[in-house]
Each structure stands twice: as C-alpha cells, then as structure tokens.
Structure 1
Amino acid sequence: MARVWIEDLWLKDSETVLPNGTTAKVPVPASARKSLAAYMKMPGKARVPEEFKTERYGRGKRWRVSWLGTEPNGKRQRKTKAFSERSDAESYAAAMEDDIRSGRYVNPDDGNRSFRDVAMEWLASKNNLRDRSYVRYENEMKWYVLPKWGDRAIASITETEINEWVRQLSEGMAPHEFARKSVMQPLKAKSIKSVVKDTFGGVIGYAAASKRRWIAGSPLDGVKLPQDKNVDDRVYLTNQQVDDIAEAAGLVDKKNSVVSKTLVRFLAYTGLRANEALALRVGDVNLDVMRINVSKTITTDRQGRETEGKPKGGKSRVVPVPVFLVDVLRSIASNRGSDEYFFTAFHGGMIHLNTWRTRVWYPAKEGAGYGDIEGLRIHSLRHTYASLAIAAGCDVKTLQSVMGHASATETLNTYAALWPDRLDDVTHAIEANYLTWRSGAQKNDEEVSTE
C-alpha cells in the first residue's frame, strides 16, 4: 500500500505521567490550534503552551509531506516536501498518493539530475551502435546539445524552450562549442532532426523510460521540427552521365586510371555503398558466377580511426555483376591474392574514400560538366543503380535484397516514386477477369434456355 503522510512541524503532542507510572500522549488542545491559526503570520502571539511546541515552532514552513520513494538500487527511502499552507500540503499528498498507486510516481531527486549526467549515462548504454553512429551522437552532443542543456535539471526542460532552440538551430544562433571554428552555420532540416530528435531526444527518452521514470513524460512530444523544402534530394544519373563521369575520373587519376573509372561504373551498376566496395577483397568477387559477396564495409571506430566492420544493418548479402563489367574486373583482379583489396590505390593498399572523393570524384564531376547538378554525390551512383533496376522491372523484394535495406518498407519509402504507375494494368486485369466471367455466365444462360 502506498504511504504518504502529512506532519505538523510546529506543533506536537505532549506526554504526561499517569499515577501508575506509565506515560500517555496528550493531544494538542483545539484552543491552541485555533489560536495558532489566527496568528499564523505572528506565531509568537498565539496561545500555545510550551509543551506543545516543537523546536522549530514559528520558523520555516509548517507542513511537511512525506512518502517512500524507490531508489535506482531498489531500496525505499523517505522523501519530503514542505508547505506553508495545510491545503497545499493536502493537495500535494493526494496527488503523490495517486501517482504512487498508479505507477506514475517520479522521484523529484531524479528530475534534478543534470542533463549532462543523464546524457553521459545514455551514451555509455549505446553498446549496440556502430562506431560511426556513436561518433555522430557524441559529436552532436558535444557541439550543440550540451552547450544548451548540459547544466539544466533534466525535469526542468520545457516544450517551449525546445521550440525556441529549434528556431535558433535553424538560424545558426544556438549555443554551440566547436573545436576548430567559432561561427555556426544555420542547420538544415535533416541536421536539426538528427540533433534534436535523435541525440537530444535519445537522452530525454532514456530519462522518461518506464524502468527509470526520471521525468514524467517527454517535453519533445509536442515539438514540430522543420521539414525539408526538397523532400527528395536524390540524383539519378543516365547511362551517358555515368560514362562521362567515369571517363573523367580516369583522366583525373592518371596513375590509377583504370581503377578509378571502373570504380565509378562499379558503384553505378552494382548498387554497393562506396565503403562496401572499397572493403571488397579479390576473393569476394566471383566473376565465374558473376556474384559479389558483400560482408564488410570500411567504417570508423570511436576514436575516429578507419577500420572494417559489418555492412549497414549487420547482414551480408550477394549482389550480381553485369556482364559488361566482367572483363575489366578480371583485368583488375588478375595475378593477385584472394585476401588483397579488390580496388587498390596506385601504390597498393586500400583506397581511402575521403581522399578519393577530394582527389578524384569532385574534379571528375566538374570535368564531365556536371558540377552544377545540386546533390550529386558519390552516393548518387547507388541511387542510379536503384533507378535503373526499377526501370528494368525489378520488384521491391529483390531490390531490397540487393541494396541491403533492412526491410522492403525502407526500399519503398526511398524509391516509391520510381516505380511506374500501373493503375491502367490493374484496370485492364479487372476488365479481363470480368469479361471472362461474363462470357461464361452468358453461355450457361444460353444452355439453360435451349433445354
């Protein structure tokens, strides 16, 4: 049974010794209580006998609500809150009793934890995150979230304040802390969503989780984030554009021409993510059956160092190789061990994506005449593969498998607009089904009438 009680901090029962030697409590006389009620602002004038006064009589708040709250270690500990008015104490006690009984109880001490402390605990709990994702959370926390909320009590953050922070982020006026630059640029809608919903929201959700209930609910629930003006910023290249960029990459990277221009075509016609392609070993590419085993990707660890990990989603997959790439891929892999990287730098070893992007990709798209295409990135080659596959009649489930998406829903959400409108096909199928049925029904009617 929940236990909440109210104590009078100014008055106490007295004790008297009975003739038989035992003691008995003597309640505070009604006259004393009535007199004190009349002189609450000047308790020294109230007619209250000394034996009924506590040590703090007339000092501080008179009423104290006490209850038993459960600590994180499972132990129950007494909590208190003082009030000047009896009516306020009674209202608070009733609400606290109801919260405890219904499971809505929030320990006030937990709500006083600093956002910074809760954030560090939340980050430490992210053991299942890929290192790259962890580093993103860590950076956003350090750059944008903690400068704004770090010293605040977790329960004191309000929806109104978060809405104001979102506006500041969108205008480049939010508190921030950068290691190498001091000027903050306005954040785009996608970045604001990442900072506010994913990073800041992750901490808030952690504090509000039912197993903790450090705060009663999430102040984020009513916050509306800005929407991207251009919802679909994906770029889909034509075969000619892919070829132009590939040839330009070969011209830019004169020492490693074949590898660079093949890498462009490879990404566009297999759909691999760039770091998945750069993690491939010679043994992963079986050109006899024209299949690629994608089981690794280049990623970064929590110290920012490049390392190998599982592909996004944590699952390996098999991807087909188009026939027109086989010959050049054979030439690249010839006379090399199965454990060597498939695409290698000029002097051997792994190609580093950031270096290749700056040294080859940017100059190549400019050289091909496509530098003014907004949103054209290396990842656009992967989008191009999806668009070409869909145009060739690829179904959702097959494309999901080849692209390595977590679900068919993700594939549909990403590329739904590329599937052709088949409404007329549906209508024609319904019409054909109806005519077949109608023809059979008429035939039956004619047979019955002849009988």
Structure 2
Amino acid sequence: MAGNIAKRSDGSWRARYRDEAGHEHSRHFDRKIDAQHWLDEISSSLLNGSYVDPKAGNITFREFYEDWAPRQLWVPSTTTNADLATRSVAFADVPLKLVRRSHIEAWVKTMSTRLAPTTIKTRFVIVRSVFRAAIADRVIVVDPCVGVTLPRRRKAEATMQIPTMEEVGRLLAHADSNRASTRKGFRAYVAMCAFAGLRKGEAAGVQVGDIDHVRGLLKVSRQLQREGNTFVTRLPKYGSERGIFLPVELVETLADHIATYLPNADPEAWLFTVGDRPMSDNDIHWRWRATRASAKLPHVRLHDLRHFYASGLIAAGCDVVTVQRALGHAAATTTLNTYSHLWPTAEDRTRAAASGLMRQALGIAPPTPGSR
C-alpha cells in the first residue's frame, strides 16, 4: 500500500493511501501518531483481505438488496418472502455503514407486537443474509445482526396438535360429500396426507403414474404451488424428493379413487382434479374447511395429518432416519427438532425393560393393547 503522512500549514497531519483500485483516500489528525495508527490499520486490512472502501457503505440497505436479490437462485415464493421481509424494515433508506444493532433490535421489537416468533425468525434470517452478502462484497465490515435476541418460540410439544385415531377416522368419513359437488374424491386426498405424510402441495402434485400399486410405493417428485390466480409445478422442498412405502389399505384406497374418478387415465394425469385441472390451493382449502365442519372438528389443520403420520411411525418404533426419509426432511436434525418429544426417553425404555423382566419372572402375561 502506498501511503504517507504530511504536516499541514494549520499544524494538523494528513494521512493518505491508495487502495487496491488505485483510489486515493485521506484523513486529517491532530497528532502524527494517530495518523500513523490509522495507516497501520488500513495496511493490515489490505494485507489480510478485510479492507473495505469507506465510500462503499454509503449504499442504502434498499439499494443493495435491489441489486443483490435478482442474482439469487430463489424460487418465486422465496423471492416473495424476501421482498416482504426487506420492505418491513425501518432502515431501508439508511446507508449500510450506518445501520447499527439498535436498528435491528427496534425492528424485531416492532414485529414482536403483531407477528409470531417463527415469522419473525424467518424475516430476520432473510435480512441477516443481506448484511452477510454486503460483508462478503466488502461493502461493510460488521454485521449489525450479531447479538440480536429474537422472541422465544414455544416448544414443539406445546404448539403441535396431533389428531386422535378417532378424529382422523371421522375426517375420512366426512371427506367425500354425497351432494352433487366437486368435493367428491377428497377422501383419498385426506388419506394420503394422514397415512403417507405428504405436504399439501405434494399431495396435490401426485400423478397417476407416481403410484406403484404392485410394490406399494409412491414417488414424490413435484409439488403444486399457487402463483397469482394460477398454479405452477415445482420440485418439492429441498431434500424432499422421495419414495414412500404405502400401507396396503392406502394403495387400495388410491386404486378405488382412480377406478371411480380416473378410469383409463394417462400416467401423467393428475390424481386429484377439479374439472380438467389439478386441485389448486383454494380448492383444497375449501374442501378441507367443509370436511372439518361436517366432522365437527374445526380445530384440526390439514398439516396436523402430517404430524399424525409422524407420530404413528415413531410410536411403531421407527428410528429418526426412517422418519426423516418418510417425511422428506432435508436433515435428521429437522426431524428431531420437530418430533424429539415423541420418541421414548431413556427413562421410558428402562421402565419398559424392567417391567418385561418382572412380568417374566413372576409369570405375568404381557398387557393387552389399550389396557392399563
């Protein structure tokens, strides 16, 4: 780095240097030693690669995001969420180098009065990624998001609703309407969510050819997502492409559905349709609300059927990797973070093992299912 210090006529000292691009920068100091310290810091940052042009941080948060976002490999829904998150900040027109942790804390505090902790975390992660991109581009040095505390989320076991076996049975019984309406055939959709654990869009995206009736295997390779007034077909969530082993009863239910509503259908035909198009997000929402009302279970959400499926696998003794693959989670940590409270603890296993030993020693028959 080319730098020097010169004394000015007013007695102050001017320190100058040229950066990697050849641009000159200077600052004035009352003492020569302060000017030398400043030059030493600049020289060190240039050598270790952490140098940031002092003028680079003048770009505002909004300007940087609008330049950075179009280069990201995002699906439309992610772009929509990112736009929503970045529009919600109060520091959009503040130069990046002037954004402080206090700005982020005030933004989080404002959101906490009207949004759920999970929504706040999602928006925070998006905004944090913008600052990290600015650091990677050497626009700023410090991430103002570091150290910001987010609202505490409730534990999964406190918020998760798992329908009972009886409730799922009632929902299945009421899913198909006897009226002359487009709700006919919805029972198979509900069964697929409850006994294969599919997400709403994944179930809507199933085609006739995705079901291997002989092997009892369902291939999940796409999902339907709403986009404006229409729908688009996309890959499932990251890491969610999978094959699901179906119970015989579900295979038979799907076979009956195809025979009744889609006789002689092409393998690429949608399994669930409304007219000549696949069942959209709005179609599913209307049918699910009608099903809940008919079954007198207004509190059950469609996603709760996925929890029902996961809890059933865990109760049957499936390990975390098996459950992860069945649900299409990208990592086992996601499965554990969501369902760890459902797995038997060491205390449960110890008690069960000791109970088995005692019953054998005393010649007591094992308890029958459902008994106490």
TM-score of the two chains, using structure 1 as the length reference: 0.71
Task: Assess if the C-alpha contact under 8 Å between 2:62 and 2:93 holds in 1.
Answer: yes
Deviation of the 1:3 alpha carbon = 3.2
Q: Which amino acid aligns with 1:69?
A: D
Deviation of the 1:352 alpha carbon = 0.5
Q: What SS does structure 2 have at the residue aligned with 1:149?
A: coil
Deviation of the 1:83 alpha carbon = 4.1
Distance 1:167 1:285, change over 3 A: same
Deviation of the 1:231 alpha carbon = 4.3
Q: Corresponding residue for 2:133?
A: 206
1:228 to 153, 160, 179: 153
Q: Corresponding residue for 2:120?
A: 192
2:267 to 338, 350, 356: 338
Q: Corresponding residue for 1:324?
A: 249
CA distance in 1, matches of 2:121, 2:236: 24
Q: Corresponding residue for 2:174?
A: 248
Task: Assess if the C-alpha contact under 8 Å between 1:205 and 1:218 holds in 2.
Answer: yes
Distance 1:414 1:229, change over 3 A: closer
Distance 1:428 1:365, change over 3 A: closer
RMSD over aligned Cα atoms:
2.6
CA distance in 2, matches of 1:325, 1:277: 13
Q: Corresponding residue for 2:3?
A: 4
Distance 1:299 1:381, change over 3 A: same
Distance 1:131 1:101, change over 3 A: same
Which deviations, in whole Å up to 9, do the C-alpha atoms of 1:172-196 show, x marking residues without a partner?
xxxxxxxxxxxxxx11111111112
CA distance in 1, matches of 2:47, 2:251: 70
1:312 aligns with 2:237: yes
1:170 aligns with 2:112: yes
Q: Corresponding residue for 1:116?
A: 62
Deviation of the 1:246 alpha carbon = 2.6
Q: Which amino acid aligns with 2:217?
A: R
CA distance in 2, matches of 1:278, 1:394: 27
Q: What SS does structure 2 have at the residue aligned with 1:298?
A: strand
Q: Corresponding residue for 1:141?
A: 86
Q: Corresponding residue for 1:449?
A: none
Distance 1:257 1:231, change over 3 A: closer
Gaps in structure 2 of 5+ consecutive residues: 355-372
Deviation of the 1:103 alpha carbon = 3.2
Task: Assess if the C-alpha contact under 8 Å between 1:252 and 1:364 holds in 2.
Answer: no
Q: What SS does structure 2 have at the residue aligned with 1:311?
A: coil
Q: Corresponding residue for 1:420?
A: 344
CA distance in 2, matches of 1:300, 1:344: 15
Distance 1:254 1:423, change over 3 A: farther
Deviation of the 1:300 alpha carbon = 4.9
1:67 to 17, 21, 28: 17
1:217 aligns with 2:217: no
TM-score of the two chains, using structure 2 as the length reference: 0.85
Q: Which amino acid aligns with 1:3?
A: A
- Percent sequence identity is 27
CA distance in 1, matches of 2:235, 2:332: 20
CA distance in 1, matches of 2:269, 2:247: 22
Which deviations, in whole Å up to 9, do the C-alpha atoms of 1:228-271 show, x marking residues without a partner?
24544222112211121233332387524441122112210011
Deviation of the 1:391 alpha carbon = 0.9
CA distance in 2, matches of 1:113, 1:257: 54
1:369 aligns with 2:299: no
CA distance in 2, matches of 1:204, 1:388: 42
CA distance in 2, matches of 1:202, 1:386: 32
- How many residues were matched structurally? 350
Distance 1:245 1:427, change over 3 A: closer
1:239 to 165, 171, 176: 165
CA distance in 2, matches of 1:217, 1:429: 54
Q: Which amino acid aligns with 1:159?
A: R
Deviation of the 1:293 alpha carbon = 1.0
Q: Which amino acid aligns with 2:319?
A: D
Deviation of the 1:218 alpha carbon = 0.8
Which deviations, in whole Å up to 9, do the C-alpha atoms of 1:321-368 show, x marking residues without a partner?
2222233311221222211101112x23200123321x2212322332
Considering Cα pairs closer than 8 Å and 6+ residues apart, tell me whether 1 or 2 has the greater RCO. Answer: 2
CA distance in 1, matches of 2:209, 2:140: 53
**Higher Cα Rg, which structure:** 1
Which deviations, in whole Å up to 9, do the C-alpha atoms of 1:145-172 show, x marking residues without a partner?
3xx122111011111222122111212x
Distance 1:308 1:110, change over 3 A: same
Deviation of the 1:85 alpha carbon = 5.4
Q: Corresponding residue for 1:33?
A: none
Q: Which amino acid aligns with 2:244?
A: V
Q: Corresponding residue for 1:156?
A: 98
Find runs of 4+ consecutive structure 1 residues off by over 6 angstroms. Answer: 427-430
Q: Which amino acid aligns with 1:299?
A: Q
Task: Assess if the C-alpha contact under 8 Å between 1:344 and 1:351 holds in 2.
Answer: yes
Deviation of the 1:131 alpha carbon = 2.6
Gaps in structure 1 of 5+ consecutive residues: 11-35, 38-61, 172-185, 431-451
Task: Assess if the C-alpha contact under 8 Å between 1:63 and 1:82 holds in 2.
Answer: yes
Q: Which amino acid aligns with 1:308?
A: T
Which deviations, in whole Å up to 9, do the C-alpha atoms of 1:31-68 show, x marking residues without a partner?
xxxxx65xxxxxxxxxxxxxxxxxxxxxxxx5432112
Q: Corresponding residue for 2:25?
A: 79
CA distance in 2, matches of 1:218, 1:118: 14
